[in-house]
Amino acid sequence: MMPRLIKPNWPAPANVQALSTTRLGGVSHLPYAGLNLGLHVQDDSSLVWQNRQLLMTAANLPQQPYWLNQTHSSDVVSLVGQSHDAEQLPAADASVTMMTGQVCLVMTADCLPLLICDKAGTQVAAIHAGWRGLLDGVIENTIDKLSATPNDLLVWLGPAISQTYFQVGCEVRDAFIAHDSQASDAFIADGDKWLADLYLLARKRLQALSINATDIYGGDYCTYRQTDLFYSYRRDGQTGRQASLIYLESQ
């Protein structure tokens, strides 16, 4: 079965190509069954490479994506046409580029992927944002790498865990509120814990950067609940990774 891919529902310029993968398709076996793209989760590496090639073919990618060693940091790498050794991945949780054909990609299994482009179709970015990255400013650091003004940006929020299933401790809520008191809107009490809304926390960060609320799309999926469609670390523990990617075609 060929990979099932999700196309963002957003008004990006025609030369901006973006998508998220699902777990459907691919050749990995249980517990990674499907299109696992993560080499770091103890899956058979030969099967992961087959899955990556299936993604290349299904999405008609211009070249291998720029894979990252994601560490829940706020580090961002600017891509200017370089490639890299897949065994020596740069440590970062976001990438930006203005080069055509350079594929920015992040992997997730509950964390929030954000895809960004400018309305002129000249620059793109992909962000991996769990709560640590969101708190520490991975969105802000990525936007800072782009030359477009915030009101010229479009953002798509890809598949992530929904608030119903994302329980965190008081220290997480307190840290967000210390940064912005209005972040309290993104938390619901759950006994002595809290349920956190990654989508809303990201929207608040984006709007604080003067990105228009009407230019922020997505946030429609739940990786935890949609078992057949997505990998979820919170749900399964040992599991695969889906990817969200974006690149520029020649205009």
Please spell the DSSP secondary structure of 1-38, one letter per residue: -PPPEE---S---TTEEEEEE-SSSS-BPTTS-B----
SS3 of residue 204 by DSSP: helix
Average pLDDT for 208-230: 96
Burial of 207 (0-12, 13-18, 19+ CB in 10 A): middle
pTM of this structure: 0.94
Average pLDDT for 158-186: 96
Taking only the tens place, the pLDDT of each residue in 82-137 is 666 655 678 899 999 999 999 999 999 999 999 999 999 999 999 999 999 999 99
C-beta separation of 106 from 242 below 8 A: no
pLDDT at 85: 60
pLDDT at 83: 63
**And the tokens for 174?**
């307190």
Nearest to 18 by CA among 75, 74, 65: 65
CATH 3.60.140.10 fits 5-160+216-248, yes or no: yes
pLDDT at 84: 63
Taking only the tens place, the pLDDT of each residue in 34-55 is 999 999 999 999 999 999 999 9
pLDDT at 87: 59
Measured CA to CA in angstroms, residue 67 lies from 77, 113, 210 at distances of: 11, 14, 29
Q: What pLDDT band is residue 63 in, cutting at 50, 70 and 90? A: very high
Q: Does the pLDDT of residue 1 top 90, yes or no?
A: no
Partner residues linked to 127 by β-bridges: 94, 114
